[in-house]
Structure 1
Amino acid sequence: MSQEKSNAGFKSAIQKLGSYLSSMVMPNIGSFIAWGIITALFISDGWLPNEALANLVGPMRDYLLPILIGYTGGSMVYEQRGAVTGAIATMGAIVGASEIITGQPTVPMFIGAMVLGPLGGWVIKKFDEHFSDKIPSGFEMLVNNFSVGIIGFLLVLVGFYAVGPFVSGMTTLFETGVDWIISQRLLPLANVFIEPAKILFLNNAINHGILTPLGSQQVAEMGRSVLYLLEANPGPGLGVLLAFSVFGKGSAKASSPGAIIIHFLGGIHEIYFPYVMMKPLLFLAVILGGISGTFTFQLLNAALTGPASPGSIIAIIGMTAPGTYIGVIAGVLVATLVSFLVAAAIIKMDKNTEEGDFEAAQRSTQSAKAESKGQTTELNASEQNEVPAPEDINQIIFACDAGMGSSAMGASLLRKKAKTIGYDIPITNMAISKLKDESGTLIITQEELTNRAMKQAPHGSHVSVGNFLDGDRYDDILNEMQNKSEEDVATSNDSNVASGHSSLDMSTINEIIFPYHADYPASPVMGASLLRNELRNEGKEITVHAVEENEIELSANALLISDKETLAQLQTIEQSQVYEVSHLYEESAYKELLETVTQ
């Protein structure tokens, strides 16, 4: 048992590291792609050689990309101040590893940026925590600016003398090892680890922590790199899905054609993970597919000029190095064919496939992902899946590790469904680390990530889904929202009768008060305006206004109107009459009151 816990803890640590690295790299993938396009077009052996424009390649690689990563890393820790400090610190590592200082070819400082960016954010955050309340009044801006400048200066020295040279040496060492592996034609063996790691959700640690930095170094020297293809190759997963579409049964067979489109064209590889988990022998199919694909890439000298993210065939073709299209396409096709043949044999040999196997595999996939994150998928039922009424939320956010990929597709899917039924509400996606703790937000996450989202934004409403691409689940959510809205209106009407409002004596009332909290005045103010207008329409001159809770002065001629929660907080105030409603901004909530007034 202790060994299992140790393994789970190690896997969790690796996955969290990969997730953190991914959060720094993924927002800047567009800049890597832009650099890759410039490299493919304008270097001496590119599609459109241009000596002047080729001068962009080096500065973008050596300065722009690392600084963007350092800026993002600092921002993750401490927003803008952390971002600026992290970018300053990164500059020290960049210059410290430059050819002018080391006498060796400049090493792109991506890993150094991943270290110094978060470090800069953390240091300035700790400074603010210790000194923000000790700054004399009027000196805040001076201290804030100089603290970033001084701390940034000190971290530049750390980057220049320590991080830059160290990372440069380690990168050169790794690069030498990779060159040896490639020269010995052993690179295909990397897929023995990469393919299972993808399905166990360790792909971020491998792809963004190792392959992207090393691939970028190769691009800097040769203008292309095969390393970008190792994890991004969609062939192994495509072969498995094709095998299920031909030889599968039940829901796995029915769903596989749609999964093929999402995987191969959309680049969302996690869609095929449950199919492999369904039959563990299929790990062999994706491993052999990956090995054969990488072998073909090496044999035909296939390579990309930048990372293909997501791993869509469209992105891969777009980043293919000039003259290597045949090799890239052949590698994907070979990987697909080998994976298909092996998967087909495994599926056909299994005569016990049942309808429920695929659903069980989806749950196993979620469990594996949760275990790799050191989380549990079991949540208190009262803390999740409480779908609010549409009028109680002002935005819906799909949240995942990186805030891209499947969460973006889930947001797009729900957005289309909501628009169909007339719900006009912002629906976006983002990384869990970027969530803000605010009410009025419905946050949708995969089950294994809901605990993290709840800790990040405890005041939001949280709903879990098993799969971001499950359209039926979104239909259920929208139906629940619609039903909740109808129930709330009915409850509002019922509560007015049940609370004994018919006994109200309006003959003595000359003032109606809507209490509100200083931070949440909107609904009471709207309610007061609504009732004031209705009374004027009836020709009744009664003062109606919204008053902050701590300024209320009730008299025998005052009527207090609010919801149940607010009234409970005001129970110590002497009240002559109260009128409880469920929704302050609904005209129907005041129907009985208006009837009493007009009698």
Structure 2
Amino acid sequence: MTEKSIRSRVQNFGSFLSSMVMPNIAALIAWGFMAALFIPAGWLPNENFNKIVDPLLRYAIPALIAYTGGNLINPKMGGVVGVVALMGAIAAAGEEKMLVAAMLLGPLGGWLLKKLQDAYEGHVPEGFEMLVNNFSAGFLALGLALLSYVIVAPLISGLTGLLAAGINFLLERSLLPLVHIFIEPAKILFLNNAINHGIFTPIGLEQAADTGKSILFMIESNPGPGLGVLLAYSIFGNKREKSSAAGAAIIQVFGGIHEIYFPYILMNPKLILATIVGGASGTFTLELLNGGLVASPSPGSFLAWLAMTPKGSYLATILGFLVATVISFAIGSVILRTSKSSKSLDEAEGDVKANKSGKETAIVNEEKSFANISKIRFACDAGMGSSAMGASILKKKLKEAGLLEGIDITNVAIANLPKDVDLVVTHKDLTERAKQIVPNAIHVSVNNFMQAPEYDQVVERLKEAKSTAKVENKEEVKEETQKIADLKEEKKNTILLKDNIILDETFENKEEAIKRVQELLEKSGYVDKGYEAGMLQREKEAPTHFGIGLAIPHGTNETKKEIKKSGLVVITSKNGVDWDGELVKLIVGIAGKGDDHIGILANVANNINTEEIVNSLVENSNKDEIYEILTREEE
């Protein structure tokens, strides 16, 4: 197995741990504040409210984590199976808190249920799917609950005890700062959330439940080491590094987004020494002053540190942060001033930009059209922090370019990338994982979410795509308009034929005139024989003359079935015909299928609306003139 594949698997594992814990951070924060306020040593001791603290940590938070883990693996009841399985471990554990068990049993329950459902899929009689799904999930949950009571809980208790013993060993010998030798490099690989929430938080919560605070919440989350490196860059970096590092420092210390300083370490890997020594110095200070927090601060900002600090520990909290910052700054400054081979920020970003030879590109799947992009997702390990900042920056750029309408931009954990995403932005170390999850999306690989030139590339590609689409759309509209015009002309030529304009005929009565209309309509293929009966019936119900010498005979609704296609016939009669007491000289017979004939009838209403016009048409016009009047488009 290659080093790259090992690192990828470790990152995947860390990302999954984070994906279980991060959605439930609000519950951890609620528990932390409740403990800080209402436990006997808290700010506002309250015997009744303190009764909520233990059930939250013992039942609610582990259940939430187990449900999230099971649901991530199998949204179809995976979370439910995971929670029921967890109850076995909680029942067996007594006073111990089963957070680690929740991280194991939640995904295990979801995975086993998925395998079980896959096994019987397609073999269940129609209509019994819900019954089989519920019973299989229920029996699996039952079995896992019993298994977790007998086997999982003792194993987790032993593992937690071993880890706790190791940490206590380090604490007793003041060696806890040494863990930063492993923690700081792991953070740069985006395993910060996995370390904090997968290792330190479960053990820290146990300690906090017993003593009211734990130093373990402060080891990975200390913003000091990263802040020190950023301050060193803001003074001793080049011009661009200074400006970007200053802004990043503010976000690091007050926003708690540790990922923002990772690219600055990657630009000059020697700086990892600054964060290791800085972090170790901060932890040593906290150890010396008996520092600790009541719960895990999330995000890991200095403000969150202060919020989670119990009464009497503020000096330790402040000094632990300041010492880590100062030491990291001092060592980082020396490294930056003496280093001869450090990359500039531009060069670091350029590592993933498309070079002239085309061997490496920051935008993958470029052949996919940018014109149809509607869903953009920024993905990082936990879906918080740096990816949120990147999403905000690109959203602002698209808004300024007038391209934001119709595009949904947000940030997610890489494990939760939606299958229908169009464009994914990730750090270069996570791009391969994102491509495995959503291979059909456009992937943009960046080195620094805050200072990524690739954002401008995306904006330009979208501009070009929109511009091309507009041109293509104009051509399409032009072609479509011409087609519509041709179709209208074709319909006009079909609905009214010049051969069906008959000049100066003589009729004894209206029935004879209607019979003539039927002959013309039928001969041209507009109607069948039964249509004449409909026209005669219409006259009995309501005569169709208009009192200006014009009549428009047509059938009833019942005889619409006799109409084959829409058509008109026009007959003039200088002598006129008696139409229920009115003298009619212009007869427009109509067979209307759909609304094809409406345009011509509108012309009849607009252009032949007085007796004078009717008389003029009958006395003076020829077929061409009548055809032009009845088929021309209105302005």
TM over 0.5: yes
Q: CA 1:285/1:387 → structure 2, altered by over 3 Å: closer, same or farther?
A: farther
Kindly indicate whether residue 56 of structure 2 is the aligned counterpart of residue 56 of structure 1: no
Deviation at 1:472, TM superposition (A): 5.2
| Partner Cα separation in structure 1 for residue 14 and residue 78 of structure 2 | 21
Residue deviations 1:416-463 (CA, integer Å, cap 9, x gap): 444445533432222232233227x43333344344334333454444
Change (3 A) 1:92 1:182: same
| Partner Cα distance (1:83, 1:55) in 2 | 27
* Residue in structure 2 matching 1:210, options 183, 199, 202: 199
The 3 A distance-change label for structure 1 pair 136 and 387 is closer
Match of 1:22 in 2: 18
Match of 1:395 in 2: 375
Partner of 1:555: none
Q: In structure 2, which of residues 106, 113, 123 is the aligned counterpart of residue 117 of structure 1?
A: 106
Deviations 1:132-190 (A, max 9, x none): 32222222222222121111111101111111111012212221221121111111111
CA distance in 1, matches of 2:436, 2:188: 26
Kindly provide the CA deviation profile for residues 63-116 of structure 1, in whole angstroms up to 9, marking residues without a partner as x.
111111110110110114111111111111111211xxxxxxx22111111111
CA contact (8 A) 1:188 1:295 kept: yes
Which residue in 2 is equivalent to 1:415? 395
* 1:103-182 pair list within 5 angstroms: 106-182=95-171
Displacement of 1:221 after TM fit? 1.3
Distance 1:223 1:205, change over 3 A: same
What is the match of residue 242 of structure 1?
A: 231
Q: Work out which of the residue numbers 437, 444, 462 in structure 2 matches 1:481.
A: 462
Distance 1:357 1:472 in 2: 14
Other-structure match for 1:310: 299
Query: Helix, strand or coil for the counterpart of 1:96?
Result: helix
* CA 363–168 in structure 1, closer or farther in 2 if over 3 Å, else same: farther
Q: Which residue of 2 aligns with 1:265?
A: 254
**Partners in 2 of 1:86 and 1:68 — Cα distance?**
10
Q: Check whether the contact 1:274–1:364 (CA below 8 A) recurs between aligned residues.
A: no
Contact map agreement 2:275 2:328 (CA 8 A) in 1 = yes
1:337 lines up with 2:326 in the alignment: yes
Measure how far apart 1:361 and its partner are: 3.5
Q: Comparing 317-326 with 116-125, which one deviates more in the overlay?
A: 317-326
Give 1:358's match in structure 2, choosing from 317, 335, 345.
Answer: 345
Partner Cα separation in structure 2 for residue 130 and residue 455 of structure 1:
25
Residue in 1 that maps onto 2:612 = none
Contact 1:33 1:306 in 2 (8 A): yes
Higher mean displacement: 255-264 or 68-77:
255-264
Matched residue type, 1:20: F
- Paired residue secondary structure (1:201): helix
Deviation digits for residues 109-132 of structure 1 (CA, Å, limit 9, x no counterpart): 111111111110011111111113
* Matched positions, count: 496
Q: Deviations over 1:19-78 (max 9, x none)?
A: 221111111111111111111111000011011111111111111111111101101101
Superposition TM-score, scaled by structure 2 size:
0.71
2:352 & 2:318 partners in 1: Cα distance?
30
Q: 1:74 aligns with which of 63, 70, 73?
A: 70
Given residue 336 of structure 1, which amino acid in structure 2 is its aligned partner?
A: T
1:474 CA drift (Å)? 3.3
**Whole-Å separation in 2 of the counterparts to 1:23 and 1:211:** 16
Q: In structure 2, list runs of 5 or more residues that go unmatched.
A: 354-358, 494-594, 602-632
Secondary structure of 1:134's counterpart equals: coil
How far apart, CA to CA, are the structure 2 residues paired with 1:254 and 1:380?
Answer: 24
Aligned 8 A contact 2:394 2:455 in 1: yes
Decide which moves more: 153-162 or 205-214: 205-214
Measure, in 2, the Cα distance between the counterparts of 1:382 and 1:57.
49
Q: What whole-Å deviation, never above 9, does each CA across 1:518-560 have from its counterpart, x for those lacking one?
A: xxxxxxxxxxxxxxxxx9999489xxxxxxxxxxxxxxxxxxx
1:90 maps to 86
Alignment partners' CA distance in 1, 2:241 and 2:78: 47
2:426 is the alignment partner of 1:445: yes
Is the Cα contact below 8 Å between 2:362 and 2:446 reproduced in 1? no
Deviation, 1:332, is 0.7
Residues 108 and 217, structure 1, Cα contact 8 Å, conserved in 2: yes
Instruction: Return the alpha-carbon distance in structure 1 between the equivalents of residues 432 and 223 of structure 2.
Output: 31
Q: Say whether the 8 Å CA contact 2:193–2:382 is kept in structure 1.
A: no
Please say if 1:297 is aligned against 2:296.
Answer: no
| Aligned alpha-carbon RMSD (Å) | 3.3
Structure 1 residues 129, 308: closer, same or farther in 2, change over 3 A?
same
Q: Is the 8 A contact 1:386 1:463 kept in 2?
A: no
CA offsets 1:312-351 (integer angstroms, 9 cap, x no match)? 1121111112211111110110111111111112222236
Question: In the alignment, which of 460, 465, 471 is matched to residue 490 of structure 1?
Answer: 471
The 3-state SS of whatever aligns with 1:346 is helix
- Which of the pair has the greater relative contact order for Cα pairs under 8 Å at 6+ separation? 1
Matching residue's letter, 1:397: R
Residue 435 of structure 1 is matched in structure 2 by 417
Distance in 1, matches of 2:226 and 2:156, equals: 34
Aligned residue for 2:425, secondary structure, equals strand
Alpha-carbon spacing, 1:510–1:211, altered in 2? closer, same or farther (3 Å): farther
Distance in 2 between residues matched to 1:538 and 1:349, nearest whole Å: 86
Corresponding residue for 1:566?
A: none
Equivalent residue, structure 2, for 1:281: 270
- In the TM superposition, what is the alpha-carbon distance from 1:464 to its structure 2 partner? 3.7
Note the residue ranges of structure 1 that are not aligned, 5 or more in a row. 99-105, 367-376, 512-534, 542-596
CA contact (8 A) 1:107 1:171 kept: no
Q: Which amino acid aligns with 2:274?
A: A
Q: Which whole-Å CA distance do the structure 2 matches of 1:470 and 1:150 have between them? A: 52
Per the TM alignment, residue 219 of structure 1 is displaced from its structure 2 partner at its CA by: 1.0
Which residue pairs with 2:32 in the alignment? Answer: 36
Q: Report deviation, 1:228.
A: 0.8
- Identify if the C-alpha distance between structure 1 residues 274 and 536 changes in structure 2 by more than 3 Å, giving closer, same or farther: farther
Query: One-letter code of the match for 1:400?
Result: C
CA distance in 2, matches of 1:416, 1:479: 14
Match of 2:182 among 190, 193, 216: 193
Structure 1, residues 182-207: CA drift from partner, whole Å, max 9, x if none? 11111111112212221233334422
Change (3 A) 1:39 1:502: closer
Deviation track 1:389-430 (CA, whole Å, cap 9, x = no partner) reads 3xx344332222322111122223333444445533432222
Deviation at 1:509, TM superposition (A): 6.6
Partner of 2:9: 13
Question: Closer, same or farther in 2 for the Cα pair 1:442/1:11, shift >3 Å?
Answer: closer
Q: Which stretch shows the higher mean deviation, 441-450 or 153-162? A: 441-450
> 1:6: Cα distance to partner?
4.8
Does structure 1 conserve the Cα–Cα contact (< 8 Å) formed by 2:378 and 2:424? Answer: yes
Q: Residues 460 and 288 from structure 1, CA distance in 2 versus in 1: closer, same or farther, beyond 3 angstroms? A: closer
Shift in Å, 1:246: 1.4
Relative to structure 1, the CA distance from residue 173 to residue 155 in structure 2 (aligned partners, 3 Å threshold; closer, same or farther) is: same
Instruction: Determine helix, strand or coil for the equivalent of 1:227.
Output: helix
